[in-house]
Amino acid sequence: MPTIPRKQTPDPRRKGIKQIKQLPWARVQDPRYNTTKWRRARKSFLSRHPVCAMCMKLASVVDHIQPVTQGGAFWVETNWQPLCASCHSKKTQSDRLNK
């Protein structure tokens, strides 16, 4: 019985295939967020603090209370708080407006 080939991701080096550009808002500004050390610290912190500090839902983001871009300490856990994604978006937006 013939089989149907699985869909394969096209090679972006081939002609006629558009390169996917990374959007500027999707880039992480600080390279420390892309380290194994940060991923482990984040996972550990969220396992100890699983509830959002604002709405009491399940937290998925470790937020810096004082933003690192405004002089907040990156690795100090007293500057961290657990937030859900929607609360983190709201806080980030208000931090940008109050800069």
Confidence band (pLDDT; 50, 70, 90) for 25?
Answer: low
What is the structure's pLDDT at 98?
82
Confidence (pTM): 0.70
Give the pLDDT of residue 97.
87
pLDDT reported for residue 30: 82
Q: What is the pLDDT of residues 45-84, one digit of tens each?
A: 999 999 999 999 999 999 999 998 889 999 999 999 999 9
CATH number at residue 76: 3.40.1800
User: If you write DSSP's letter for every residue of 24-91 in order, what string do you get?
Assistant: GGGS-SSGGGGSHHHHHHHHHHHHH--B-TTT-SB--EEEESS-GGGT--SS-GGGEEEE-HHHHHHH
84 domain residue, yes or no: yes
pLDDT confidence of residue 9 = 62
Residue position matching structure tokens 């810096």: 64
Please check whether residue 3 lies inside any domain of the structure. Answer: no
* Domain-located, residue 2: no
Phi, psi of 82, deg, nearest 5: -85, 135
Question: Is 54 in contact with 47 (CB distance < 8 Å)?
Answer: no
